[in-house]
Amino acid sequence: MRRVQTITAYGAHAEGEAGRVITGGIPAIPGVTLLEKMLYLNQHDDSLRRLTLFEPRGGAHLSVNLLLPPVNPKADAGFIVMQSDEVHPMSGSNAMCVSTVLLETGILSMQYPLTHLTLDTPAGLVPVQAHCADGKVSRVSLQMPASYVQNLDFVLPVPSHGDVRVDVAFGGSFFVLVDARQLGLEVGAKNARALVAAANNIRMAADKLINVQHPLLPSINSIDYVMFTDKGGDGKLLNATVYYPGRLDRSPCGTGSAARLAVMHAKGEIEPGESTAFYSVIGGCFEARILSTCRLGEFAAINPEISGRSWIYASEQLTVDPDDPFPLGYVLSDTWGPGLEV
């Protein structure tokens, strides 16, 4: 029988945001902690990310989660999220996908009506409460990493837009949050391309002028995303996170929602115990609330909870034939954005 590399996975999405979950067929990843494993993938060997995310086995719309044994003894499972640019510390929508796959496929035992589990991530432990009935996970609630504001109302000069007032916050990753109305834009599906173009300009300016550094995790020190915020005519709070190489998160973005909660709390717009909801450009909804306040080093912080729904849509086997001329995949600028051709 011909030998081919085979990776087993499930396709899942959380409120429309696709997050493939790899359950088998990957090599051991060096590192003592999940954070060290993330850094190894980013700094030494990105072949697994490229193989599973680049065409023909992946696409620009996709995230891929590596399901790993937990390193922290308090956790039930570990995961690392890979995206089009690199591996990131945490993702709320992907944690929902991972939790749903773990329980609905029987990797972890489902309890009724609530299953409690803990995920090990590079950003720390994430307690999960999954609402379960009839073999299905109906909702996943995540206690996100402690979130805080680093810069509030920072005036950022952006060559294409002039001075733009932004907030910089951590919600599992670092975000630059921008009220879209400043740019004459509304958060909505019809403006997806314009939002992406504006975000790329803002990101380039922010990378030059804003330094970020997690107070407890020194290697988490880069801005990962720009997220536009808005308020619809019906009063709904709208989120649009822009991912490399240039697309909108189809969900309201879990880590972005946590970062936005931290900003709202810093501005006196929401208090511990209060709940709100965030919506994406396709109508997906994450419920959000502040469980309590805390401190992260010198920063006042919050403990946020984000909840949403996730569905499994595929059972997959990815293969790499030894004669395949594209074992690590490829990207082209027609889909992946200007300047990309690998």
Active-site residues, by number, are 91, 253
Residue 128 backbone zone (phi > 0: left; psi -120 to 50: alpha; other: beta): beta
**Phi then psi dihedrals of residue 143, to 5 deg:** -90, 100
Which strand (E) or helix (H) includes residue 247? strand 247-248
Q: How is the chain split among helix, strand and coil, in percent rounded to 5? A: 20, 40, 35
Dist CA 329 CA 318 (whole Å): 12
- In DSSP terms, 158 is beta-bridged to 162
CB 40 within 8 A of CB 33: no
CB 98 within 8 A of CB 130: no
DSSP string, 134-198: TTEEEEEEEEPPPEEEEEEEEEEEETTTEEEEEEEEESSSEEEEEEGGGGT---SGGGHHHHHHH
| Nearest to 105, CA basis, from 12, 217, 229 | 12
**What does each C-alpha distance from 133 to 13, 113, 281 come to in angstroms?**
19, 6, 29
CB 62 within 8 A of CB 53: yes
**What does each C-alpha distance from 82 to 39, 94, 111, 146, 241 come to in angstroms?**
12, 10, 29, 21, 16
